[in-house]
Amino acid sequence: MIEFPAFIHVPLAEWTDAAMDWILRVFSDVFDVIGDAILFMLLYIEKFLLWLPWTLVIVLVGIVAWRATHRWWAGLLMAGFLVLIGSFGYWDLAMMTLAIVIAAVIISLLIGIPTGIAMARSNLVETIIRPILDAMQTMPSFVYLIPALMLFGLGKVPAVFATIIYAVPPVIRLTNVGIRQVSPDVIEASRSFGATPGQTLMEVQLPLAIPSIMVGINQTTMMALSMVVIASMIGARGLGLEVLLAINRIDIGRGFEAGISIVLLAIIIDRITAGLAPKQEHPAS
Amino acid sequence: MAINNIYPQNEEVSIEVNNLWKIFGDNVEKVLDSDTQFAGKTDILEKTGCVLAIKDVSFQVHRGEIFVLMGLSGSGKSTLVRCILRLVEPTDGKIFINGENVCDCTARQLTELRRHTVSMVFQYFGLLPHRNILENVAYGLKIRGMAKSKREAKAREMIELVGLKGWESYLPSALSGGMQQRVGIARALSTDPKMLIMDEPFSGLDPLIRRQMQDELLDIQEKVHKTILFVTHDLHEALKLGNRIAIMKDGEIIQIGDPEEVITAPSDGYVREFVQDASPAKVLTAKRIMEQPNVLLYEWQGPKTAMHILESTELDNAFVLGRGSKFRGLVTVERLLEIIKGGGKSIMNALEPEPLRCTSDTIVEDLFPLVASTRHPIPVVDDDGKFLGEIHTSTILGSMIQDKETEPSD
């Protein structure tokens, strides 16, 4: 009675393997198409970022940060951070990392916002999706990195895929919360004037949920950035790979430079996306 | 009832509610099918776990009237008005709006009904916090798909009607409560609905603003002539605005009548308690307390004839009427003597300048300042200027005491 009896055995591992085999056999074409689409998008973003003159990027980031935060010194600071990253010799790698983050965030929003809306509109959908989100956020990322590899092969696509799985929950959750916290009085008034559910969503619920959704977008972006180191293990080039190589060589200085570059990139993206969110002068409740 | 003549009223029915039930809970059929439906609210809650919100309610709202639904909070009045537009689904019963059964409406018909026929005004305003006043007022029209320039023109018109011109570009949060509710009223009127449902629209406002808003609502109603179903928990508000009043208690309507019926003949202890602190001065109208004078003079009578009539009846003043009982004014003995001395031929020369007057539906409260400013009786005239009767200070005071106790005299 001390040891758990061996005959109680749920063969989840076998089932998962079988399911994976089946998916690979039946849907491999589908995943090829998805993979090609992601890669196509990613390469264009990467090409564009690398094509931009570094001076222009620095000036633009400085101006946008200044406008978003309403502080001139914040603009200068953000521009300075980029100069620092360039001075480490990581400009191109930083742009590649940024491309992966941007691609992952765009796809995350395309998936996440509609999912959040669906969750807000139905308690059943919320009950179903919530544990899935919990799993996505707590499951060790290697568990889905390997299947991602099997589905998309080595390279940038599985990296984007894994990044999406890790980064999409915040925007889903905060879209859901943002819509649900809109005052029922306003929704009732909208209904009383003959607004269809779709009109109430577009005219009332989504606009009032925007501050919350923007926080979600900010969080999603941050999580995507934090995933790049792990994603580099399956072949995505960028700052993450540099960290990985430095660690393998026990080159502490190089590792720190690459690591601090990721942090600086994170700060820049965070301040800009947070600053772009409308201030909550008129809380929804 | 005599009182019905005071309000020009069309007996055409706009809203009809028949045997409406609303029960919140899981075993709703159980309540309706069994004998428990005859039980009280608390019994039903204990036996079935269901909350009875509306119990077998029936009433009619006539076209062009203000029908007030009054009750304490929790009496089911807000749920009831929400059932009419099916913002809350009724459990059982029928609701007709202009003869159309709302309960049988498809989603599309219901949308049309809400967009074109009935508008609502809410206690907590329900304004869109992220849209300015103009966009808020135009919201109902936008939902309908009206073009921007057209709906904004209409919205501006409505904003002017409620006296908020100049505030178009402000957000609701910049406005006071009273102003926000004006936006709510303008928004409701902008769709040109035939009916308005107002759910405690002034309850959240402080007393002074509330009274002002009530007056404005009456002014607006003069211009727009809507059918209004007005919910309130404030008896004075009900008595001031309502052409007819329905009193709700525990989900049932326990009395329907015009304000005077409600206040002078409360149907049971509950209503009596409700009206106990209501001052008759706010309900009784001039028509109800006016008297017929012993003596009336006519404009074609000479000053000496008039003098003779007054002397023989020992009065020192009397009203002068023209043809068709048109009210002309008041003459006093002193003025008549002056005219006779001066050789005047017409009593019209002896009229007091700018005599005070009131109409038949003036409430007693509004008579106080009039009687205070003169020692003569106050004439009651109708809209065409026809003389109806007179009111003395003593009559007013008498009415205040007497009406506490007695049944209505008609």
Q: Which two tokens stand for residue A205?
A: 């619920």
Tell me A202's DSSP state. Answer: I
Binary contact (B128, A186; C-beta < 8 A): yes
CA dist A167 → A20, A159, B331 (Å): 23, 12, 92
H or E segment and range at residue B369: helix B364-372
B126 chain-A contacts, CB cut-off 8 A: 185-186, 188-190, 192
Structure tokens at B310: 């007054």
Question: Residue B252: pLDDT band by 50, 70, 90 thresholds?
Answer: confident
Q: Select the CATH number that applies to the domain covering B287-402 from these four: 3.10.580.10, 3.10.20.740, 3.40.710.10, 1.10.10.10.
A: 3.10.580.10
Question: Which phi and psi (to 5°) does residue B229 adopt?
Answer: -105, 115
Highest-confidence range of A140-144, B165-169, B278-282, by mean pLDDT?
B165-169
B272 vs B256: CA distance, rounded Å = 14
Residue A115 to chain B, least CA–CA distance (Å): 24
Using CA atoms, how far apart are residues B256 and A129, in angstroms rounded to an integer?
Answer: 52
Q: Does domain B8-279 have CATH number 3.40.50.300?
A: yes
A98 vs A232: which has the higher pLDDT? A98
Under 8 Å between Cβ of B159 and B168: yes
**pTM, full prediction:** 0.72
A195–B191 C-beta distance less than 8 A = no
- pLDDT band for position B407 (cuts 50, 70, 90): very low
pLDDT in tens, B43-98: 666 666 778 888 888 999 998 899 999 888 778 888 999 999 899 888 888 899 98
Class assignment of domain A15-51+88-276?
A: mainly alpha
Q: Domain limits of chain A?
A: 15-51+88-276
Domain boundaries, chain B: 8-279, 287-402
Q: What is the pLDDT of residue B279?
A: 67
Mean model confidence pLDDT for chain A:
88
Concatenating the DSSP letter of every residue in B80-113 gives HHHHHTTSS--SEEEEEETTEEGGG--HHHHHHI
Strands B227-232 and B195-199: parallel
- Cβ contact B114–A186 (<8 Å): no
Residue labelled with tokens 């909070």: B73
| The two structure tokens encoding residue A199 | 């009109």
Between B85, B142, B144, which is nearest A192 by CB? B85
